Structure 1
Amino acid sequence: MAATSAAPKLSDAPVPKGGIVQSVHDSLVMARRNLIRMARIPEMVIFGMIQPVMFVLLFAYVFGGAIGVPGAGGDKTAYREFMMAGIFAQTVTFATAGAGAGIADDMHKGLIDRFRSLPMARGAVLTGRTLADLVQTALVMVVMIVCALIVGWRIHDGLIKALAGLGLLLLLGYAFSWIGALIGLSVRTPEAATSGGLIWLFPLTFLSNAFVPTDSLPTFLQHVADWNPFSATVQACRELFGNQLAPVPSDAWPMQHPAWASLLYSLLIIVIFRTLSVRKYRSAA
C-alpha cells in the first residue's frame, strides 16, 4: 500500500518560545538581516548621507548670514553653531521615511507573511528593522559631525555632555522609526510610505526652535514650538554641546528642562508606537 502523507495543519505551525531572551535574539537576527541588505545596496546609505550634508552647507552658507542669534552680539558665524542641533535632529527624524518604506516593501513582496510563519517573537521583525535603521542613522551622524566641524561647529562643554546630546538624538531617531514602522504597515506601497513618512515631518521640524529662535514666531506658534518634542531635543543638544548663547526666553517646562523632556518624549513615543505597530503587524496582510 502506498504511503500517504497528511497535509500540514495550521496547528502544526512552529510556535515561538517567547521570553525576553528569545525576543532579543530574534530581534538581533532580524537586525543583522537588514544590515546585510543595506551593505549589499550601498546607495541606500550613500544617498541618505548626501541630503543632510546638503542641509548643513545650505543653512551654513546661504541662510546663516541673514539670521541673527540671540546673545551672539552680531556675530554672523554664530548661527552655524546654533543651527547644528536642529540639523542633527532633523536628520535622525527623517530616517522615519526609510523605516516605513522598508517595512512597506517587505509587506508588498510578501516577506512579512513569511516571517509571521516562523517561530520568532511577535515584534522581532519590527524591532530588528528599527535597530538596523538606528545603526544607519549613527553612520550618517558621524559624517554630519565631520561636515559640521568643517563649517565651524564646535562643542564647548566637554566630550561627556556632547555624547549625552548625541545619545538623545539617536533615541529620538529610534522613537520616530517606530512611527515609520506603523506607517509602513498601514499603507500599500513603499512610495506611499515614503510620502507618508515625510509629509508630517516638515511642519514638525519647522514649527520648532531648530532653525530660528521661537520668540520670532507668533504667540500661538511659540506655544506649539515650545511643547514640540522636536524642540525639546534640539534645546537639550544646544545646552549639552555648549551652543546656547543666551537664556531661553520661554518659561515652558520642556524648554527649562529640555534633557528630561527629550528623554520622556522619546520613551513615550517608543511605548505608544511600538505597541500600535506590533498590533498592526499581527493583523496586517
Structure 2
Amino acid sequence: MSDVLTVTGTLTGRGIRISRRNIDAVITSMMLPLMLMLIFVYFFGGAIDTGTRYVTYVVPGVLILCSGFGSAGTAVAVSEDMKGGIIDRFRSLDIGGTPILAGHVGASVARNLISTALVFGAAFAIGFRPSATPLGWLAAIGLLVAFITAISWLSAAVGLLTRTPEAAGGVTFFMMFLPYPSSAFVPIETMPGWLHGFAEHQPVTPVIESLRGLLLDQPVGNTPWIALGWCAALLALAVTASGALFRRRTA
C-alpha cells in the first residue's frame, strides 16, 4: 500500500511538472472562470434578482465552473500519455493503471485548488463577503475537494475513452456545460418550466446550493449529503470505468 502511495505521489509531481510546461493552458483554465465571473457580475448582475448581491450569489457557481475548466486538462493529459507511448515505459516498471491515473487526478486537484484560491481572491476584491463559521469553511472546502476529485477521475476516463487529445478536450466541454442549467447563475424558478426538473436534480445543483449555504452560514438541510452522494456515485463510476478502459487500451 505504501509503495502505491509513493508511486502515486511521484506521478502527481510529474503531472504538476507537465502543467508547468503547459503554462498557457493552465493560465487559460484559471482566467476563464474569473473573466466569466466579472462578466456576469458587472454585465448581467444588475438585471438578475437573486435576493442578495449578485456577487454573493454567483461565487459558488463560478467555483464549480472553475473545477470543470481545471479538470479538462486531465482528460487531455491522459490522452497524450496513451498516445505517446509513455504508458509502456510505466508498465515495464511494474506501475499499474491506478497509480498512473491517480497521479493525473492528484495534479488536477492541486491545480484546481490554486484556481479556487484565485477565484476567492477576485471575489473578495469585488465585494464577496462570506459569513461561514470555521466548521462551515471546512465543510465547504471538503465538499469542493470531493467534487473536484470526482470530476477529475471522470475526465481521466474521458481521456482513456477518446483517441486523441483534441477529442478529449472536446468531450469535456459537455461537463463544463452542466453549471449553466443549474442554480449557479440564476435561480432555477426563473428558468422555463420544462427545465426545472433537470436543473433541480442534476449533480451540480446540490453541490452549488451546499457551497452557497455553507459559505453564507445559511440552513442547508440534507443538501450537502445529497451533494456528497452525487460525488461518491460519480467517483465510483469514473474509477470503475477508468480501470476497465485502461485495461482495454493496454491489452
Aligned partner of 2:210 among 236, 250, 257: 236
Higher helix share: 2
Per-residue deviation at 1:38?
A: 2.0
Partner of 1:53: 34
Which moves more between the two structures, 184-193 or 235-244? Answer: 235-244
Structure 1, unaligned runs of 5 or more: 1-19, 73-77, 248-254
Residue aligning to 1:5: none
For 1:87, the equivalent position in structure 2 comes to 62
Q: Indicate yes or no: 2:244 matched with 1:284.
A: no
Q: In 1, Cα distance between the equivalents of 2:63 and 2:115?
A: 10
Q: 1:210 & 1:281 partners in 2: Cα distance? A: 34
Count of residue pairs the alignment pairs up: 250
Residue 206 of structure 1 aligns to a residue whose secondary structure is coil
Render the CA deviation track for 1:86-115: whole Å, top value 9, x for unaligned. 111111123232110111111121112222
Supply the AA of the counterpart residue of 1:220. W
* 1:243 to partner: Cα distance: 7.1
Mapped contact 1:31–1:132 kept (Cα < 8 A): yes
For residue 97 of structure 2, give the secondary structure of its aligned residue in structure 1.
coil
User: Structure 1: how far apart are the matches of 2:174 and 2:13?
Assistant: 30
1:99 and 2:99 aligned: no
1:114 alignment counterpart: 89
TM-score by length of 2: 0.93
Structure-1-length-normalised TM-score: 0.82
**Preserved CA contact (<8 Å) 1:60 1:151:** no
Match of 2:23 in 1: 42
Cα distance in 2 for partners of 1:243, 1:217 equals 26
Identity percentage of aligned residues: 29
Contact 2:79 2:165 in 1 (8 A): yes
Letter in 1 for 2:228: L
What residue identity is the alignment partner of 2:36?
Answer: F
Q: Which runs of 5+ in 2 are unaligned?
A: none
CA RMSD for the aligned pairs? 1.8
Name the CA shift for 1:44/1:218 in 2 (closer, same or farther; >3 Å).
closer
**TM superposition shift of 1:225:** 1.3
- Bigger Rg over Cα: 1
Q: Which one of 152, 173, 196 corresponds to residue 171 of structure 2?
A: 196
1:122–1:104: structure 2 CA closer, same or farther, 3 Å change rule? closer
